[in-house]
Chain A
Amino acid sequence: MARLSIEHLRKTYGDLTVVDDVTIDIADGEFLVLLGPSGCGKTTTLRMVAGFIAPSAGAITIGERSVTALPPWKRNCGLVFQSYALFPHMTVAENVAFGLEMRKVSPADRIPRVAEALRLVQLAGFDERYPRQLSGGQQQRVALARALAMEPDVLLLDEPLSNLDAKLRQEVRVEIRDLQRKLGLTTIMVTHDQEEALTMADRLVVMEKGKVRQIGSQRELYEKPADRFVAGFIGRSAFLDGEITAPGRFRTRGGVEIGCAAATGTGAATLALRPERIAVGGEAQGLHNHFQARVEHASYLGAILDIDVSLSGHDRMLLQIPNKAGVAEPKPGETITIGWAEDAGLVYPREA
């Protein structure tokens, strides 16, 4: 196992920049998740680490070894593919042994290591099966065992759970995480699934349009999102566009005045509020900011209600209210009171 460092990594195709100056340090044994919408460059970054894509600029170091110029077969990164990519003409045992064979491990020494890898993923006894005889979940485990058997310096997971059904995904998530901790594997996982990322990661990297938007723990990303994109991508936020009129004062586009401790500087800005900081009804009355809002649309989602309200003709925001027993959901056209404290909300500069 080793630490992994990615420095100023870039990938361009002609005029198109797919990965733009990405720098990430991953500690020995850390589970890092690259998270972002599709096309954000997370998979390209992973494939550059594995050696399948040559970076346009930048460096990748595994442990003390610079691997930037090495071909994939000399990098010793175990990669679990989204499609598993098992060898269809080889048995489970042959699949798992392949990496050992390439490392010139003798046939006699391979047997216990294959057995150990299969035991780790709870597939002992499946040695002689062919991939087509296995379920999707089992194939996924074989792919993981195959990557683990060769004792890689880093483990790379490319959307490893996306082809599994929802129930299985929950289980495998925990299993992978436990295994990774037990073996102390330095791991990078790529996913677009926010919940998956939050439950598995030690640290997350949010990417968008080829750039790293923020690196941090779950709590840091949720409570101190670095920009409007992260505020909207990690968890949910209600956004109000407007401008900062004075320190601590924010005026929405529709002219609603809001007291906001986070408003500093001047100019066009966006106020982001987490749904749980917004109070509705009687609780809202005593708060620094409280307004009458018109319900435009309400959706019943079980545990929560999604309510789309307007503060004025120009200011719409989406609220989430816990679904409390005995409380009727607001109807479109009704007026409700909403409010939040002065210290609630973050303000991001906005290009006017």
Chain B
Amino acid sequence: MSASTRPSLGSVALNAAAGLSLLYILLPLIFVTWLAFFRQEIPSFPPEGYSLKWFAAAANNQPFINGFLLSLQVGVAATLLGLLVGVPASLALVRHRIVLGPLFNTLLLMPLVMPGIVLGTAIYVFQIETEIATGLPVMGSQGGLIAAHTLVVIPWVVRLVTASLVGFDRTIEEAAQNLGAGPFTTFRRVTLPSIRPGIVAAGLFGFVTSFGNLEMSLFLVGPGRTTLPIAILQYLEWKIDPTVAAASLIQIVLIAVAMIITDRYVKLSRVV
């Protein structure tokens, strides 16, 4: 086959373009990884040597540890709440003819396209007004932070779960009902397993979005209550040593591991 022995100009160009794009995407990641192992305090090239001490520094940095724990708590809570709101909303949007359905759909996806600064400002003002009106301690509270993060999780849930519901064959629900299953059992035994990949993917992406959120959270954290991205930003205001790179690398590895584990059970490429 001449096509396989001598690739055409087009396929060479296509592969080159794909390779360059991939490199472009991976370059920051490569540099962060490299930097995390530099020995010197001020990042400069070429490196003077290599060391693992920055990982120890990151792991012992109290603001980072506290930030990591808070981000984890907020991320998990926001993801669960987002699923609790997003899955029924998706079901309603796909299955029922709702008045102004397309409008609700757009509204639910809105936080995804709205700049984080705008969202943060808006929620900040809302929280102030709520606190003045009700006297409840809303501002800077963990509950307020979780509520805001839930908002950025919902679009992922709605997008991914509606996508898996649209391709779902509803006659299998009828089959379950015909065999004696009521609506709840039908949902639990037949519908849920079929849309599980979408739900798992939604949870994962929602969590990652919440965990990495910086701009919106800047407005909403209280004194002594800092998420990991904010802790990293604050650290950077004073120092630029590779501790930050090491902390980021740990974060990247954790997320990558979560994705790989998830992908073993649910083929993410099929849903996203």
A residues in contact (CB < 8 Å) with B? 50-52, 71-79, 81, 83, 85-89, 98-99, 102-103, 146-147, 150
**Which of B169, B171, B178, B194 is in CB contact (< 8 Å) with A72?**
B178
Report whether A83 and B178 are in contact in the complex, using a CB–CB cutoff of 8 Å: no
Report whether B185 and A72 are in contact in the complex, using a CB–CB cutoff of 8 Å: no
Report whether B174 and A52 are in contact in the complex, using a CB–CB cutoff of 8 Å: yes
B residues less than 8 Å from A146 (CB atoms): 175, 179
Report whether A87 and B182 are in contact in the complex, using a CB–CB cutoff of 8 Å: no
B residues less than 8 Å from A150 (CB atoms): 179-180
How many residues of chain B have a CB within 8 Å of chain A?
17
Alpha-carbon distance between A74 and B194 when the two chains are bound, in angstroms: 24
Question: Given known contacts A87-B190, A88-B194, is B181 in contact with A81 (CB within 8 Å)?
Answer: no
Report whether A72 and B174 are in contact in the complex, using a CB–CB cutoff of 8 Å: yes
Report whether B171 and A85 are in contact in the complex, using a CB–CB cutoff of 8 Å: yes
Alpha-carbon distance between A76 and B177 when the two chains are bound, in angstroms: 10
Q: How far is the CB of B169 from chain A (nearest CB, A)?
A: 7
Q: Which residue of chain A has the shortest Cβ distance to B192 in the bound complex? A: A89
- Besides A71-B182, A87-B175, 9 other A-B contacts (C-beta < 8 A): A52-B177, A72-B177, A78-B178, A79-B175, A81-B171, A85-B172, A87-B176, A88-B172, A89-B194
B residues less than 8 Å from A72 (CB atoms): 174, 177-178
Q: How far is the CB of A186 from chain B (nearest CB, A)?
A: 16
**B193 at interface by CB-CB < 8 Å:** yes
Q: How far is the CB of A155 from chain B (nearest CB, A)?
A: 11
Q: How far is the CB of B168 from chain A (nearest CB, A)?
A: 10
In chain B, residues 156-192, which have Cβ atoms closer than 8 Å to a Cβ of chain A?
169, 171-172, 174-182, 185, 189-190
Report whether B175 and A50 are in contact in the complex, using a CB–CB cutoff of 8 Å: no
**Which of B176, B178, B182, B189 is in CB contact (< 8 Å) with A50?**
B178
Report whether A77 and B176 are in contact in the complex, using a CB–CB cutoff of 8 Å: no
Report whether B179 and A83 are in contact in the complex, using a CB–CB cutoff of 8 Å: no
Alpha-carbon distance between A71 and B176 when the two chains are bound, in angstroms: 12
Report whether A103 and B180 are in contact in the complex, using a CB–CB cutoff of 8 Å: yes
Q: Which residue of chain A has the shortest Cβ distance to B174 in the bound complex? A: A52
Report whether B175 and A102 are in contact in the complex, using a CB–CB cutoff of 8 Å: no
Q: Which 3 A-B pairs have the closest CB atoms?
A: A102-B180, A99-B179, A85-B175
Question: Given known contacts A83-B169, A102-B185, is B193 in contact with A89 (CB within 8 Å)?
Answer: yes
In chain B, residues 8-52, which have Cβ atoms closer than 8 Å to a Cβ of chain A?
none
Q: Which residue of chain B has the shortest Cβ distance to A146 in the bound complex? A: B179
B residues less than 8 Å from A87 (CB atoms): 172, 175-176, 189-190
**Which of B169, B180, B185 is in CB contact (< 8 Å) with A85?**
B169
A residues less than 8 Å from B193 (CB atoms): 89
Q: How far is the CB of A91 from chain B (nearest CB, A)?
A: 13
Q: Which residue of chain A has the shortest Cβ distance to B193 in the bound complex? A: A89
Report whether B181 and A102 are in contact in the complex, using a CB–CB cutoff of 8 Å: yes
Question: Given known contacts A83-B169, A87-B190, A88-B194, is B181 in contact with A73 (CB within 8 Å)?
Answer: yes
Report whether A73 and B174 are in contact in the complex, using a CB–CB cutoff of 8 Å: no
A residues less than 8 Å from B190 (CB atoms): 87
Q: Which residue of chain B has the shortest Cβ distance to A99 in the bound complex? A: B179
Alpha-carbon distance between A102 and B181 when the two chains are bound, in angstroms: 6
Q: How far is the CB of B198 from chain A (nearest CB, A)?
A: 14
Question: Given known contacts A87-B190, A89-B194, is B179 in contact with A98 (CB within 8 Å)?
Answer: yes
Report whether A79 and B180 are in contact in the complex, using a CB–CB cutoff of 8 Å: no
A residues less than 8 Å from B176 (CB atoms): 87, 98
A residues less than 8 Å from B175 (CB atoms): 79, 81, 85-87, 146
Alpha-carbon distance between A25 and B13 when the two chains are bound, in angstroms: 72
Q: How far is the CB of B74 from chain A (nearest CB, A)?
A: 33
**Which of B174, B182, B185 is in CB contact (< 8 Å) with A81?**
B174
In chain B, residues 227-271, which have Cβ atoms closer than 8 Å to a Cβ of chain A?
none
Q: Which residue of chain A has the shortest Cβ distance to B170 in the bound complex? A: A85
A residues less than 8 Å from B179 (CB atoms): 73, 98-99, 102, 146, 150
Of B169, B177, B181, B182, which is in contact with the most chain A CB atoms at under 10 Å from its CB? Answer: B177
Alpha-carbon distance between A180 and B189 when the two chains are bound, in angstroms: 30
Q: How far is the CB of B86 from chain A (nearest CB, A)?
A: 22
Q: How far is the CB of A70 from chain B (nearest CB, A)?
A: 11
A residues less than 8 Å from B172 (CB atoms): 85-88
Q: How far is the CB of B58 from chain A (nearest CB, A)?
A: 42
Alpha-carbon distance between A347 and B68 when the two chains are bound, in angstroms: 89
Alpha-carbon distance between A139 and B185 when the two chains are bound, in angstroms: 23
Alpha-carbon distance between A71 and B185 when the two chains are bound, in angstroms: 14
Q: Which residue of chain B has the shortest Cβ distance to A75 in the bound complex? A: B178
Report whether B171 and A71 are in contact in the complex, using a CB–CB cutoff of 8 Å: no
B residues less than 8 Å from A78 (CB atoms): 178
A residues less than 8 Å from B189 (CB atoms): 87, 98
Alpha-carbon distance between A76 and B175 when the two chains are bound, in angstroms: 12
Q: How far is the CB of B187 from chain A (nearest CB, A)?
A: 13
**Which of A74, A77, A83, A99 is in CB contact (< 8 Å) with B171?**
A83
Q: How far is the CB of A159 from chain B (nearest CB, A)?
A: 12
B residues less than 8 Å from A98 (CB atoms): 176, 179, 181, 189
Q: How far is the CB of A101 from chain B (nearest CB, A)?
A: 8
List 26 contacting pairs A-B, 8 Å CB cutoff, sorted by A.
A50-B178, A52-B177, A72-B174, A73-B178, A73-B181, A74-B180, A75-B178, A77-B178, A81-B171, A83-B169, A85-B169, A86-B175, A87-B172, A87-B175, A87-B176, A88-B172, A88-B194, A98-B176, A99-B180, A102-B179, A102-B180, A102-B185, A103-B180, A146-B175, A146-B179, A147-B178
